[in-house]
Chain A
Amino acid sequence: MNYIPITEKDRNKMLEQIGVNSINDLIKDFRPLLKADLNLQKPMSEFEVKQHIQEIADKNKIMKYFVGAGSYDHYIPSALGHLLLRGEFSTGYTPYQPEMSQGTLQAIYEFQSFMCILTGMDISNASLYDGASALGEAALLGASYKARRRVFVKNGLNPQYLEVLKTYCKAADLELTDEINDQTACVIAQYPDFYGNIENLTHLAERAHKIGALFVVCVNEPTSLAILRAPADFGADIVVGDGQSFGIPINFGGPYLGFMTAKEFLLKKMPGRICGMTTDVKGNKGFVLTFQAREQHIRRERATSNITTNQGLMALASTIYLALMGRNGLRTVARLSYGRAHLLQQKLESAGFKTLNNNPFYNEFLVKTPKPSDDILSELFENGIQGGLKVDEDKLLICCTEMNTTQDIERFANVVKK
């Protein structure tokens, strides 16, 4: 398939206008020039590409998922996909020219508003890469704001997020420590935590603030915020997380949607784009990127972060999702996810599983299995069910969303009862 509209006739005319004989004259200084064609396959027609990639896709197996752990299979309304395909949104870039990017800019403003409402915080940026790197950025922000170099993480953080956080700490020479003291820049807690536990974090926030550290709450499964107390109520200074649950397919792990909201006093330290409302020369309401003096293209080595491209279209997806679902829809998603998980948990208790959560849980819970977790997983697997994440030889982390119907739960319970 060829996406170049230049004909041979055009090419000759263009070369003549430039004043050279061939394209090779234009690239002769690109040393060292390759002497042979790249070792790639033959070009394919659109039909061949489709056939080839469909074959690859067919080698994957899609299951009924009872696993979350950072990736949640929620229902996505049809209207969302249709709106997201509009080329005006999907083929634009960072809105540097606000007069012709009001669509993207207003959507960012709405996104920021939604995230502030859900987390209870004052300000939001336009998105970060994913939940894990958003947490990394929060640690960088904390270290920079407090001029301290230690980071404390409460037990129960998604282990993959912990791995990414470690990489960010390595990059920036920050230290992960297991005590909170006057060197601690920020204290991090996941809510609900990796095992689904919901805990009142007020005391931890107070401890952080007492020694002058920032308190960071990390949210993996943000549909929980429809029914749970907002992290701001516990005293969070920064809330980060992943917005994948809001209308973004599980996509084998990406693209997802990192987000960051914060208290107002951190505005000038926030990483990433921020959109603000203002007026034009005629007094009409409009939107622009603002506080750009924080950013790399202006501030270079003194920027608050190096982020440029973020997850714009995913932020738009979640904005449209939240608009489509509304308060009733989102609460329904949260109640169903909670309800289905608790229904399954009860059924598993009567089948000899033991729930290991010490606190109330949302839609994920940890169980001790009556026989090796591998055996349970493979029995379920034969029935088309991905039955959870193996945490240990006899421990599974199980998740439900509204997509796990009561029939699915019945089937799960029947398989493991045997």
Chain B
Amino acid sequence: MKTIFEYNEETTGHLSDEEIQLKLPSDLMRDDLELPNISEINVVRHYTNLSKKNFGVDVGFYPLGSCTMKYNPKVNEDMAKLNGFAGLHPHSSEECIQGALELMWRLEQQLKEITGMDAVSLQPAAGAQSELLGATIAKAHFDQKNEKRTKAIIPDSAHGTNPATAAICRLETVVIPTDSRGNMDLQKFKESLTPDIALVMLTNPNTLGLYEENILEICDLAHKNGTLMYCDGANMNALLGITKPAEQGFDMIHLNLHKSFSTPHGGGGPGAGVLGVRSFLADYLPIPRVTKQNTKYVLDYEKNKSVGKIHSFYGNFGMLVRAYSYIMSWGTDIRKVSEHAVLNANYLLSLLKESYHLSYNRSCAHEFVISSKNFGEKSALNIAKRLLDYGFHPPTIYFPLIVSEALMIEPTETESMETLDRFASALKKIAVEINANPQLVMSAPHSTPIGRLDEVEAARKPNLRWNPSLENDKMGSH
């Protein structure tokens, strides 16, 4: 499909009759603006046709492990679009924003209850930004105590954001291997827990989809060492109403509202991160804090221990409205979300474990990792591409890094048994195809608008933007 820059038309829409003189010196004025002028109908068709080359949860099953691609209830969209929210200026005076602050305050109470934490900040725009905030808070905490701690412990199954965050914050990463049951190796952990460890960044359930069996002992050991426990809450969808991270012993947790709390993933955001902390860290949270004074809500900037701001304003507010709407729908029943997320994952695992290798033979939490290593090198990639022909979005592949030819599958609670059966049967068929007709699988997909793309060429001859002068050259050479 041609790009938006290649429409050969020139409409004059959007011109105004209003006489305006720009009184600007010429060295500040632009003389060219190479934007296309396209009629509305063609713009609408262009993006409608683009959307048809896309896949989302609204289109079909999307078991992308670690991403919690659950259904996004439509009512939440309507709530975020209410003019009282979408049309509210962030610099409005306090009496104009009472509803917005009330919603934030209520959401904070709910997330405190769900995580067991004592205070939460809604400011981070995504999980990775919460991690940055959490690590910065850890540094401030140790500065305050006059302790020099320069390292972070991170298991080898961790999301890439954990070591990346530690590196930005100039914390050296100490990597702990995974034991034969899929837990962080406790013995190695003990040996590595030296006085210079600032924090342990742990995902629970971990990225293998397994609940850390030694979590209570890990947190206990860390605390005795003066080390902070940070929970990457990407997998909170397994735990809602079942167990609270604060009671497991974590000092901080981030939540991804676009995962567990069902705000749409938007093709890569916007999400919303939330950082929950225990009371001794609450004063470090970003300003302003939403507080309630009698019946009035206020933005409190008077927190001199705060590490500062992490967002231009108060966070991705529109996503907060959606998450609040979701939690109000579920209320005390929210435990059912996690129960069924775990049920669906274990059911799917039970259907697949005869056809695919399973590295850790345990009940899983809300997701699981199988391996296609018995089908040879690159088989996970080939299987993923073949799944496209069956109309499914593939699972996460080649992650976590510790499982070779990994397929990481997270069905979520919003899928029916029938969908899970169809998906399992497709994966089982592919397991047969890959031996019987390897070429069919290796050359997949066959049904998508486009075949496998040359990623090497993309990096070797970067074409990262439409370029009018290149287009003109091309035209000239014809």
Let me know if A83 and B47 touch, CB within 8 A.
Answer: yes
Choose from B73, B167, B265 the contact partner of A303 (Cβ within 8 Å): B167
Let me know if B332 and A43 touch, CB within 8 A.
Answer: yes
Let me know if A4 and B337 touch, CB within 8 A.
Answer: yes
In the complex with contacts A65-B89, A92-B265, A329-B14, A276-B463 CB distance below 8 A: yes
Interface centre among B72, B127, B330, B334 (most CB of A within 10 A): B330
Let me know if A312 and B270 touch, CB within 8 A.
Answer: yes
Alpha-carbon separation in the docked complex, A249 to B86 (Å): 6
Interface residue count on the A side (C-beta < 8 Å): 188
Let me know if B113 and A39 touch, CB within 8 A.
Answer: yes
Alpha-carbon separation in the docked complex, A213 to B197 (Å): 34
Choose from A29, A133, A273, A295 the contact partner of B213 (Cβ within 8 Å): A29
Alpha-carbon separation in the docked complex, A7 to B386 (Å): 31
Which residues of the partner chain A approach B449 to less than 8 Å between Cβ atoms? 99, 102
Map CB proximity to B onto A338-380 as digits: 1 under 8 Å, 0 otherwise: 1100100000000000000000100000000000000001000
Interface centre among B28, B136, B321, B443 (most CB of A within 10 A): B28
Interface residue count on the B side (C-beta < 8 Å): 198
- Between-chain CB contacts (< 8 Å), 15 pairs: A26-B343, A30-B242, A31-B215, A32-B243, A38-B335, A40-B327, A40-B334, A88-B58, A92-B55, A123-B465, A133-B129, A228-B24, A267-B464, A278-B454, A323-B46
| CB closest residue in chain B, given A402 | B16
Let me know if A313 and B23 touch, CB within 8 A.
Answer: no
Interface centre among B135, B328, B333, B448 (most CB of A within 10 A): B328
Choose from A54, A60, A327, A386 the contact partner of B100 (Cβ within 8 Å): A60
Let me know if A323 and B43 touch, CB within 8 A.
Answer: yes
Instruction: Pick the interface stretch among B221-229, B371-379, B414-422, B430-438.
Output: B414-422
Let me know if B16 and A280 touch, CB within 8 A.
Answer: no
Interface centre among A95, A171, A225, A377 (most CB of B within 10 A): A171
Which residues of the partner chain A approach B159 to less than 8 Å between Cβ atoms? 296-297
The 6 closest A-B pairs by CB, nearest first: A253-B313, A87-B58, A57-B84, A313-B266, A312-B268, A329-B14
How near does chain A come to B8, taking the closest CB pair, in angstroms? 14
Alpha-carbon separation in the docked complex, A202 to B133 (Å): 35
Choose from A90, A252, A288 the contact partner of B88 (Cβ within 8 Å): A252
Which residues of the partner chain B approach A53 to less than 8 Å between Cβ atoms? 79, 82, 103, 321, 324-325, 328
State whether the Cβ of A204 lies closer than 8 Å to any Cβ in chain B: no
In the complex with contacts A93-B265, A172-B170, A254-B317 CB distance below 8 A: yes
Let me know if B168 and A90 touch, CB within 8 A.
Answer: no
Which residues of the partner chain B approach A381 to less than 8 Å between Cβ atoms? 93
Let me know if A254 and B328 touch, CB within 8 A.
Answer: no
Interface centre among B51, B110, B159, B240 (most CB of A within 10 A): B51
State whether the Cβ of B195 lies closer than 8 Å to any Cβ in chain A: no
How near does chain B come to A60, taking the closest CB pair, in angstroms? 4
In the complex with contacts A130-B311, A288-B458, A308-B126 CB distance below 8 A: yes
List B305-328 residues whose CB lies under 8 Å from chain A: 307-319, 321, 324-325, 327-328
State whether the Cβ of A415 lies closer than 8 Å to any Cβ in chain B: no
Let me know if B451 and A281 touch, CB within 8 A.
Answer: yes
How near does chain A come to B284, taking the closest CB pair, in angstroms? 11
Let me know if A50 and B47 touch, CB within 8 A.
Answer: no
Alpha-carbon separation in the docked complex, A10 to B340 (Å): 11
How near does chain A come to B13, taking the closest CB pair, in angstroms? 7
State whether the Cβ of B141 lies closer than 8 Å to any Cβ in chain A: no
State whether the Cβ of A229 lies closer than 8 Å to any Cβ in chain B: yes
In the complex with contacts A290-B462, A309-B126, A100-B347 CB distance below 8 A: no
Which residues of the partner chain B approach A168 to less than 8 Å between Cβ atoms? 132
State whether the Cβ of B476 lies closer than 8 Å to any Cβ in chain A: no
Let me know if B89 and A67 touch, CB within 8 A.
Answer: yes
Alpha-carbon separation in the docked complex, A319 to B36 (Å): 12
